[in-house]
Amino acid sequence: MEALDGNAIAGTLLEYFGEEMTMVRGVCGHCGTSAQVAQLRVYSRAPGSVARCPACGNVVMVAVTSRAASQVYLTGFQLSDPASG
């Protein structure tokens, strides 16, 4: 399966956080790399997507959409304040 960029989960993140998140930076909890959400490598399979660090390849975020709502699990990615970009 080919990876997409972080823009692939922009809609799910917008629904979950209530604002545009692809330009927000975060830090990988595995290797310490700082990257924008748009730079993450995303692998999509319904009903969810797995986002991996562009440097080390470890899972940093899981986004799942169900009938009830979207859920985002930041399993290894510390987001900066979205307001500060």
Instruction: Please report, in tens digits, the pLDDT of each residue of the chain (85 residues total).
Output: 799 999 999 999 999 999 999 999 999 999 999 999 999 999 998 789 999 999 999 999 999 988 878 899 998 999 986 554 4
Q: What is the pLDDT of residue 3?
A: 95
What's the number of domains the chain is made of?
1
Give me the pLDDT at residue 85, please: 45
* Domain ranges, residue 57: 4-79
In a domain, residue 66? The reply is: yes
Identify the burial level of 21 via C-beta atoms within 10 angstroms of its C-beta, where 0-12 means exposed, 13-18 middle and 19 or more buried: buried
State the Cα–Cα distance between residues 46 and 82, nearest whole angstrom.
27
Report if residue 85 sits inside a domain: no
Residue 47 belongs to a domain:
yes
Q: Is residue 84 part of a domain?
A: no
Has residue 53 been placed in a domain?
yes
pTM more than 0.95: no
